Amino acid sequence: MPLIECVPNVSEGRRPEVIRACAEAIAATGAALLDQTSDADHNRSVFTFAGQEAAVRAAVHALVDVALRSIDMRTHTGVHPRMGAVDVVPFVPLGETSINECVRIAREVGAELAARHDLPIFLYEAAASAPHRLALEQVRRGGFEGLTAKLQQPAWIPDFGPTIPHPSAGATIVGARPVLIAFNVNLATDRLDVARAVAAAVRQSSGGLPFVKALGLPLAERGIVQVSMNLTNFRETSIAQAFASVRDAAARYGVAVLESEVIGLVPAEALAAAGAASIQLPNFRADRLLEVQLLQQSGVR
């Protein structure tokens, strides 16, 4: 069956009523809500849903409607980089769906969101309109606070929508990409300098592992720090390799790994070579696997 997965990241991880309203808006459209993960320090929620094109498109619009009514970026704080109330909306091909179909959907939905909400829209990854817009971190650099100045640069005119930020919602980044694994490793220290040094050691852009993006972030509520990673090609750099690299880099500073976590769902293949225990992934359940959720949601449409 041609299915599409969508994994929007919303800039709200502290107000349960807003998170619940977003989830209910998605589910009401008929798309299958496979997972929802929120974090208070990041002040961010990640929703994973899937279905055929019509249902997924409807779910994106329903989610954005709720989020833009409920989130004001002028008062938003959190450790995770962000540009907008609905920060990023990636479309991911599943089953018989091609990446080109997801590119088409991303561009069409991006244009619709811009027209509907007077919202600047940037396209990224496979849907990007220029090489310098391929990487999410490049598009998002400067965050919400730097968005006004960024939009004044000729290189950063939005793909759709106005050249000034939405007053409360900033801008949204829409794209198409393969399956990505959001994988975090928590360190048994509160030293942010260590987390940042470890992140620099493991990420591709500073000479680390291929297909790994990483940031060092503080988790103030727990009094620890985190190496937050995106694994953009888990077949080339596995979860086990990323974990081992973080563990070894942290050990050079005399710091141990506390635990790891997966944000959202993970393909079964990605964990096949490394069991959850070997990467210090506590209490991992089968329903965190993408394939299990898709099977359980046999009514996906």
Bridge partner residues of 227 (DSSP): 185, 216
User: Is residue 80 annotated as part of the catalytic site, yes or no?
Assistant: yes
Give the model's confidence band at 23: pLDDT under 50 very low, under 70 low, under 90 confident, else very high: very high
Report the amino acid identity of residue 45: S
> Would the pLDDT of 24 be above 60?
yes
> Would the pLDDT of 78 be above 80?
yes
What distance in Å separates the CA atoms of residue 127 and residue 109, rounded to the nearest whole number?
A: 11
Query: How many of the other CB atoms lie within 10 Å of CB of 211?
Result: 18
| Catalytic residue, candidates 80, 117, 132, 166 | 80
Task: State the Cα torsion 59-41-70-168 to the nearest 10°.
Answer: -110
Q: Residue 241's pLDDT is what? A: 96
239-269 residue pLDDT tens: 999 999 999 999 999 999 999 999 999 999 8
Q: Residue 299's pLDDT is what? A: 57
Percent of the chain topping pLDDT 90 = 89
Which residue has 């989610």 as its token pair? 63
Q: Residue 297's pLDDT is what? A: 78
Give the model's confidence band at 68: pLDDT under 50 very low, under 70 low, under 90 confident, else very high: very high
Give the model's confidence band at 73: pLDDT under 50 very low, under 70 low, under 90 confident, else very high: very high
Q: Average pLDDT for residues 202-217, to the nearest whole number? A: 97
> Would the pLDDT of 236 be above 60?
yes
Percent of the chain topping pLDDT 70 = 98
Task: State the Cα torsion 15-17-18-23 to the nearest 10°.
Answer: 120
Q: Residue 274's pLDDT is what? A: 64
Q: Residue 285's pLDDT is what? A: 84
Q: Residue 181's pLDDT is what? A: 95
Q: Residue 37's pLDDT is what? A: 95
Q: Residue 286's pLDDT is what? A: 86
> Would the pLDDT of 116 be above 60?
yes
Q: Average pLDDT for residues 108-121, to the nearest whole number? A: 98
What's the mean pLDDT when you consider all of the chain? 95
Lowest mean pLDDT among 37-46, 138-147, 224-233, 281-290: 281-290
What distance in Å separates the CA atoms of residue 169 and residue 73, rounded to the nearest whole number?
A: 6
Q: Residue 277's pLDDT is what? A: 79
Sheet of 224-231: strand order equals: 212-219, 224-231, 181-187, 257-263
Q: Residue 1's pLDDT is what? A: 66
HSE at residue 126, side-chain half, CA atoms within 13 A, is 19
What three-state secondary structure class fits 47?
Answer: strand
Q: Residue 102's pLDDT is what? A: 98
Q: Residue 300's pLDDT is what? A: 56
